[in-house]
């Protein structure tokens, strides 16, 4: 009986130890951005994705990969403390790319879920003016 009780207590304690694990977690309130209709010759357009660390350990953005050279990400490599926010700015160059577009941005972190895919989209019309 004592062995069973001891085994049960140890099992419960180890279960709590697993649940109390420290981890970082990247949460993106918005994962896509639609630029709408933009002009091919209107110059680059940008948007910013917010990331919140909803874990209890500092979050690191390790890398941000884009689907083509027309898209450029900017992000800080400084740790994002639990409960705090960071930003990933994405700039897209429409020059020479008339028509609809959809680009993927893959974010790699040290979070519990290590990869998140963001996206940008819109339609590029030939012309000289912005929008």
- Which of 100, 91, 93 shows the shortest CA–CA distance to 41? 93
Instruction: Say if strands 115-125 and 26-27 run parallel, antiparallel, or are unpaired.
Output: unpaired
In the predicted model, residues of the chain with pLDDT beneath 70 are 1-20, 128-131
- Read off the pLDDT of residues 10-47 as tens digits, 9 standing for 90 and up: 455 444 444 558 999 999 999 999 999 999 999 999 99
pLDDT (0 to 100) of residue 18:
46
What's this model's pTM, rounded to 2 decimal places?
0.80
How far apart (Å, rounded) are the C-alpha atoms in residues 5 and 106?
49
The CATH number of 22-125 is 2.60.40.10
Domain locations in the chain? 22-125
pLDDT (0 to 100) of residue 21:
86
Dihedrals phi, psi of 107, to nearest 5 degrees: -105, 125
């Amino acid at each position: 009986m004592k062995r069973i009780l001891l085994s049960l207590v140890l099992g419960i304690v180890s279960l709590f130890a697993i649940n109390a694990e420290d981890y970082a977690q990247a949460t993106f309130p918005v994962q896509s951005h639609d630029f709408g209709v933009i002009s091919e010759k209107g110059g680059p357009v940008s948007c910013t994705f917010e990331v919140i660390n909803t874990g209890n350990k500092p979050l690191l953005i390790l890398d941000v990969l884009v689907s083509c050279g027309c898209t450029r990400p900017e992000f800080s490599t400084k740790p994002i403390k639990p409960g705090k926010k960071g930003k990933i700015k994405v700039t897209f160059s429409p020059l020479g790319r008339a028509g609809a577009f959809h680009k993927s941005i893959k974010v790699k972190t040290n979070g519990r879920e290590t990869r998140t895919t963001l996206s940008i989209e819109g339609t590029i019309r030939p012309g000289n003016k912005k929008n």
